[in-house]
Chains A and B, each alone.
Chain A
Amino acid sequence: MSGKILLVEDNELNRDMLMRRLNRAGLDVITAGDGEQALELMRSAQPAVVLMDMNLPVMDGWTACRHAREDTLISHIPIIALTAHASDADRLSALEAGCDDYATKPVDFPGLLIKIEKVSESH
């Protein structure tokens, strides 16, 4: 696939780890630490896919997703929710907020790559 991946994650370790693994998989990655930064970067960098942690400072992932879906500039960008909340209700709430897919931490990395491939192709 072409284009950048925007990784939104406030936990430093997890951000570093995921960015490096995505890089190793040959993907170009930019990162943000909170929901507001994420929205700014989506507008300015127009990434191909966004990986969004939901528990974020300043603006949480759910709010950021809703804003993204209302903004015509970026509403087309697919978002994969990435969260340690593992229940069905959490999954539903992420999808309702406008996420295209959902991955639970600890992340199954090969599975995540397939999800990224899938959402970028369908858009």
Chain B
Amino acid sequence: MSLRRRLTLSLVTILILFSINVGTHFWGSFARNESMEAYRNSVTAAQLSTQVEQLLNDKRQTILVLDTIRDNTDDQLDEEELRQAREQLESIRLRIRELGVVSHDVTRLHFDRLQESSQLLLDQWLGFYDGYNSPSYQSDVNDPVPYLQTSEHLKELEQRQAFIAVQRANIIDRTIALTDRITVIGFIASIFLTATLGFFLVRYTNRSLKHLKRGTERIGSGDLSYRIDNIDDSGELGDLAAAFNEMSDKLRNAMYDVSKARDSADEANAAKSIFLANVSHELRTPLNAIIGYSEMLHDELSDERELDRAQFQQDLEKIIRSGRQLLNLINDILDLSKIETGKMMLHCETFQPGDLLEQACDAITPQLRERNNQLHSPDLSGLPTLYNDASKFRQVFTNLLSNACKFTENGHINVIAREPPEHPGWVEIAVQDTGIGMTEAQQKLVFEAFVQAESSTSANYGGTGLGLAICRDYCELMGGSIRVSSEPGAGSTFTVLLPSDPELTLEAA
């Protein structure tokens, strides 16, 4: 989970808990207020009941006294007294009605009964006052039933109301206790949840940060293969870790490239040193023969004995041959260095590749005989005319044929030329032999200028290992290519592909 999400979640949770607390508080006060009002009504009703009871009692006493007075005297009540009495009765009626307003629904039945009986009682008393001055009026106020009934109903109502007041008070207590409990629980839960969320937030974030720190330390100390992969965070910290990993990947690739470049530079340097050592070795071999024979002939000339002229001439020829070999070697080295420094130029002319190939085949005849090899070069006449460097062309094939001869004994050498269908106007010339062949590894190195042939091979077959490097460079210079296919013991095939004009490949490229 992302850091932002975690923070949002924590905040939302805390807000929800807070609103629950506030809601509980409001609900509690509302419930308390409601119960409080009911309680207040009950108290008011109780007061009213007491008043009504008092008033009824007083009125009854008054009426009983009046009744006794009426029985024993002829005193009349004047209008003023009657009006006052009626008003008092009406007031009692009003009080009872008020009692009805403040009474709870639960006490409705009791109130109705009270109203009924009080109506009867008050009507009786009103009848008493109405008929007081009339001598024919027969008073019935001595009958206690209506009063007692009303009084009893009033008491019942009072009791009922007192009971409800107690009930209300209990409810208020309970509501307060409940809301208090909910508030406290909510508060504690808020604190606990906030703390828990905070703890996990800090812990996860801290753990991820620790992993990141360790990762950067490892990467910083050079362990570029280290991956920060133990971050269980798909958010910002995970992204940061991924960015670190990517950085370390890129660094590692860069380091790899640099070390590869350094290695190949080291390799090139080592190859150059080896090349120089080999050049020195190759120069010393013909020099050894030249100096050795010269010194020997010098000694022979100063001898008293008669000179064997034929032998002397042969030895001189050996000196000349070694000198030429030395010259060839030096020329090869110079050619290679010219190519390496980009100073080798092409001298293009129009020529028939078939003609030059035939010349090269003729020139190799002595070497063929020496090693008893057969040369086959079927029909070289139908090839397209080339506009390219004829001298380099000749050198390449003289070299390839001489190589084929060098590594083949009592075998066959084939020169096969054609115009490849996929490159009209180009020529493809293959020089096949049935000689010793090469392993895959040797084939990879065979065109390398600074990689000398294996020491035992060069010891066996001679050569400086420069010929094929020059061939490859010349072919590329002429806009073409050279490739080899071979198997140990089954011979080698060198195939040269050349354009009719070196410019053609430049345009194509």
List residues 84-123 of chain A with CB under 8 A from any CB of chain B.
84-87, 104-107, 109
Q: Is the CB of A13 within 8 A of B459?
A: no
- Taking CB atoms, residues of chain A closer than 8 Å to B321 are 13
B72 near A: Cβ within 8 Å?
no
Q: Is the CB of B292 within 8 A of A107?
A: yes
- Taking CB atoms, residues of chain B closer than 8 Å to A60 are 455-456, 459
A76 near B: Cβ within 8 Å?
no
B150 near A: Cβ within 8 Å?
no
Q: Is the CB of A17 within 8 A of B459?
A: no
Q: Is the CB of A105 within 8 A of B296?
A: no
Say which residue of A18, A20, A84 sits within 8 Å of B285 (CB atoms): A84
Q: Is the CB of A105 within 8 A of B285?
A: yes
B288 near A: Cβ within 8 Å?
yes
Docked Cα-Cα span, A13 to B288, in Å, equals 9
* 1/0 contact string of B261-301 vs chain A (CB within 8 Å): 00000000000000001001110110111111101100110
Say which residue of A21, A55, A57, A87 sits within 8 Å of B292 (CB atoms): A21
Q: Is the CB of B292 within 8 A of A17?
A: yes
Q: Is the CB of A85 within 8 A of B292?
A: no
**Chain A residues with a Cβ closer than 8 Å to the other chain, count:** 24
Given contacts A60-B456, A106-B288, A107-B288, contact A13 B318 (CB under 8 A): yes
B49 near A: Cβ within 8 Å?
no
Give the residue name and chain of the B residue nearest to A57 (CB). Answer: B460
- Taking CB atoms, residues of chain A closer than 8 Å to B290 are 106
- Taking CB atoms, residues of chain B closer than 8 Å to A56 are 459
A36 near B: Cβ within 8 Å?
no
- Taking CB atoms, residues of chain A closer than 8 Å to B280 are 84-86
A-B CB contacts (within 8 Å), total count: 70
List residues 118-162 of chain B with CB under 8 A from any CB of chain A.
none
Docked Cα-Cα span, A17 to B299, in Å, equals 13
Docked Cα-Cα span, A57 to B436, in Å, equals 14
List residues 435-477 of chain B with CB under 8 A from any CB of chain A.
455-456, 458-460
B434 near A: Cβ within 8 Å?
no
Q: Is the CB of B289 within 8 A of A57?
A: no
Q: Is the CB of A105 within 8 A of B284?
A: yes
Q: Is the CB of B322 within 8 A of A13?
A: yes
State how many angstroms separate the Cβ of A93 from the closest Cβ of chain B: 12
Q: Is the CB of A84 within 8 A of B288?
A: yes
- Taking CB atoms, residues of chain A closer than 8 Å to B291 are 106-107
- Taking CB atoms, residues of chain A closer than 8 Å to B281 are 55, 84-86
- Taking CB atoms, residues of chain A closer than 8 Å to B322 are 13
Given contacts A56-B459, A60-B455, contact A20 B296 (CB under 8 A): yes
- Taking CB atoms, residues of chain B closer than 8 Å to A57 are 456, 459-460
- Taking CB atoms, residues of chain A closer than 8 Å to B289 are 11, 13-14, 17
Give A residues with C-beta under 8 Å from B: 10-11, 13-14, 16-18, 20-21, 24, 55-58, 60, 84-87, 104-107, 109
Would you mind naming 14 contact pairs between A and B with Cβ atoms under 8 Å apart? Answer: A13-B289, A14-B285, A14-B288, A17-B289, A18-B292, A20-B296, A24-B299, A55-B455, A56-B459, A84-B281, A84-B285, A84-B288, A106-B287, A106-B291
Give B residues with C-beta under 8 Å from A: 277, 280-282, 284-285, 287-293, 295-296, 299-300, 318, 321-322, 455-456, 458-460
3 A-B pairs with the lowest CB-CB distances in the bound complex, closest first: A84-B284, A105-B288, A106-B288
